[in-house]
Structures are given as structure tokens and as C-alpha cells.
């Protein structure tokens, strides 16, 4: 009896393996049959599917052509007084009010939002430095940051470089009606600049610049007077020596450092010129560098309409085929 036990176990193992291979074979046969059915389905309905795709593309292209053309206006701006965050925040708020159809808000700006079809506002930075220059600056400043172990210093340095690389920004206004769109863009830019906090800050900057210019001009006049008096004193001293009248004491004037005074004068002149430019730049919180005209957006061939309609038609055909198959199986069961 002990000799028969291993034989029975072996026979049982062979039966189990045979059943397993049989199941695997049946599974593979089912997969192959399923793939063949799918192939035969597409082969049988190939012309129908191609026809639906062509019809859908034609309809989408036609709708795209007859739809109203979208236009846009691009405004290049430069935020003053560290107002970049304010600029991005207010543009985001204005766009959210468009999506929310806040007609009352835009009515206060004398903009009839319901008449502005497809109106949209976007903003993006305009890179001032080339990618090569930016990479060089980052590598150099990262090297400086590596001199210290504090990782926060490296992060601050990197942020400063990235911040300085984006000086100007582009605000894009999208619309259908050119006249209404251009008018709305101008009114919105006026609204963006009409911020009480930054208006007060602007006045302080302008007053400080004007005060600096006046002080520089007064110092320049004093330097010119000192140099003129010094020249006269030297001339009088030279004449006295020639006439034998003895030496004329110049007192502290002999200690004047003329080159240093001239260098100071040049610095004051440069500072005055800089402040005059700042007065011009600081007339607006958001300095408008370029206010573009209306331009038509070029339509791309592969648009959403071009692909959406064929997808819908083919999807409906698949659903119809599935319902047809289910009805057939239902009748067989009954």
C-alpha cells in the first residue's frame, strides 16, 4: 500500500497540470477569437467608419470657417514700485469676473460685457535676457552661493536672477468685435493703473526725485563756484608773483582737490539724469511700453471642432452597434 501512494499522487498531479494547460489553451483561444471578431467588425464596417470620419471633419471644418474670427490686442507693460504681484492679481481677478459674468462690475468701467463675445484677458512675462545669459548668471551666482553652506542663500540668489530676467510683461485681450474690444482694453488698463496705494506711492517717488534733482543742481552750482573762485585765486597769485607784490595766501582753497570735485560733479549730473528718467517712468504704476492694435488670430487647421465632431459620430456608431448586438443576444435567449 505504501508503494501505491506515490503513484496516485503522480497521477493526480498530471491530471491537474493537464487541466491547467487546457484552461490556458481555452483562454488563448477565446482571446484570439475575440481579436478576430474585432478585426472582422472593423473590416465589415471600415467604409462606414471612414465615411463618418470624413463627414465629421467636413462639418467641423465648415463650422470653423463660418465661426466669427477671434482678434486680440497685446499690451507690453513694465510694473513700477514692485507692483508685479498686484498686476498678476488684478488680471486674474478681472478674468474671473468675466467667467462669472459680473456685468455690474464691468458696467462701472463703462464696459458692456454682454456685448463682448469671447472676451478674455491673459498675462505672461516677456523674457528680457536670453536663455544663455540667464544660465550664465545662474551658474555664476550658484558658485557664489556655494561659498556658504546656507541653502536659503542659494535659493534667494536664484530667485533674484529669475526675477530680474522678466522685466516686462504682456497682457493679451481676446475678443470678437474689434471696436468694442479695443475700447475695453484701454478702459481696463486705466482701471489697473487707478490704484490708490500705488498712486500715493507714485507721488512720493516723484517728489523724492524732484527733490533730488534740485539738491543735485544746487551742489553742481556750488562746485562750479568753488572751481571758478579757485581759478581766480590762482590767477591773482600768479599776477602777484610776476609784479613782485609778494605771495597771496589762499587759505583753505589751496587744499581743494579739483579732480575729486569734477568727479563728484559728474556723479551728480548722472544722478540728475537718472532721476529725470525715473520721473518719466514713474508717471504710471504699470508703465505701458506698447499698446498694440487689433490683430487677427490665425486659425489652426486641427481645432477642437475638427476632431470633436468625427469622434462624436464614430462614438454614436459604436453605441448603435453595441445596442444592435445586445438586442440580437436577447432574442437568442428568449
pLDDT of 174 reads 92
Global pTM exceeds 0.85: no
Looking at residue 253, its pLDDT comes to 45
Is residue 2 one of the residues assigned to a domain?
Answer: no
Q: Specify if 256 maps to a domain.
A: yes
Cell digits of residue 201: 506711492
Q: Is residue 264 part of a domain?
A: yes
- Domains held by the chain: number: 3
96 domain-assigned:
yes
Residue 245 lies in a domain: no
Q: Name the most confidently modeled range: 63-72, 206-215, 291-300.
A: 206-215
Q: Are residues 83 and 114 in the same domain?
A: yes
pLDDT in tens, 213-222: 999 888 888 8
**Closest CA relative to residue 305, chosen from 63, 110, 116, 127:** 63
Is residue 75 a part of any domain in this protein? Answer: yes
Helices (H), 244-303: 258-281
Q: Residue 233: exposed, middle, or buried by beta-carbon count in 10 A (0-12, 13-18, 19+)?
A: middle
Whether residues 80 and 166 share a domain: the answer is yes
Per-residue pLDDT tens digits for 1-16:
445 545 455 555 555 7
Q: Which of 72-86, 238-252, 320-334 has the highest mean pLDDT?
A: 72-86
> Which range has the top average pLDDT, 11-15, 18-22, 156-160, 276-280?
276-280
Higher pLDDT, 212 or 57: 212
Per-residue pLDDT of 223-271, as tens digits, reads 888 888 877 776 665 555 555 444 444 444 455 677 888 888 888 888 8
Quick one: cell of 223? 562746485
State the residue range of the domain holding 315: 12-66+303-333
Domain match, 76 and 156 both:
yes
Residue 62 placed within a domain:
yes
Same domain for 75 and 178, yes or no, is yes
SS3 content of the chain, % helix, strand, coil (to 5): 70, 10, 20
Residue 6 included in any domain: no
Distance CA(90)–CA(190), nearest Å, equals 12
Amino acid at each position: 500500500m505504501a508503494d501505491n501512494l506515490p503513484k496516485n499522487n503522480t497521477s493526480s498531479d498530471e491530471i491537474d497540470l493537464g487541466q491547467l494547460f487546457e484552461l490556458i489553451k481555452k483562454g488563448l483561444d477565446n482571446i484570439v477569437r475575440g481579436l478576430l471578431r474585432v478585426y472582422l467588425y472593423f473590416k465589415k464596417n471600415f467604409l462606414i467608419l471612414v465615411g463618418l470620419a470624413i463627414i465629421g471633419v467636413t462639418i467641423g471644418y465648415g463650422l470653423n470657417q463660418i465661426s466669427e474670427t477671434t482678434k486680440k490686442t497685446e499690451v507690453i507693460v513694465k510694473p513700477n514700485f514692485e507692483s508685479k504681484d498686484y498686476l498678476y492679481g488684478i488680471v486674474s481677478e478681472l478674468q474671473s469676473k468675466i467667467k462669472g459674468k459680473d456685468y455690474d462690475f464691468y458696467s462701472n468701467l463703462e464696459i458692456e460685457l454682454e456685448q463682448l463675445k469671447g472676451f478674455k484677458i491673459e498675462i505672461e512675462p516677456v523674457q528680457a535676457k536670453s536663455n544663455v545669459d540667464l544660465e550664465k548668471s545662474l551658474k555664476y551666482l550658484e558658485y557664489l552661493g556655494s561659498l556658504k553652506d546656507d541653502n536659503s542663500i542659494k535659493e534667494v540668489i536664484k530667485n533674484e536672477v529669475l526675477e530680474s530676467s522678466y522685466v516686462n510683461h504682456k497682457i493679451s485681450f481676446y475678443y470678437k468685435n474689434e471696436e468694442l474690444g479695443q475700447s475695453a482694453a484701454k478702459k481696463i488698463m486705466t482701471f489697473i493703473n487707478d490704484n490708490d496705494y500705488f498712486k500715493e506711492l507714485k507721488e512720493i517717488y516723484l517728489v523724492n526725485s524732484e527733490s533730488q534733482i534740485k539738491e543735485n543742481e544746487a551742489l553742481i552750482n556750488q562746485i562750479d563756484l568753488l572751481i571758478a573762485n579757485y581759478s581766480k585765486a590762482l590767477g591773482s597769485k600768479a599776477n602777484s608773483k610776476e609784479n613782485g607784490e609778494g605771495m597771496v595766501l589762499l587759505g583753505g582753497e589751496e587744499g581743494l582737490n579739483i579732480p575729486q570735485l569734477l568727479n563728484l560733479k559728474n556723479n551728480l549730473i548722472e544722478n540728475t539724469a537718472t532721476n529725470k528718467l525715473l520721473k518719466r517712468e514713474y508717471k504710471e504704476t504699470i508703465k505701458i511700453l506698447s499698446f498694440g492694435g487689433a490683430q487677427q488670430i490665425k486659425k489652426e487647421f486641427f481645432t477642437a471642432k475638427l476632431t470633436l465632431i468625427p469622434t462624436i459620430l464614430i462614438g454614436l456608431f459604436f453605441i448603435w452597434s453595441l445596442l444592435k448586438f445586445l438586442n440580437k443576444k436577447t432574442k437568442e435567449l428568449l
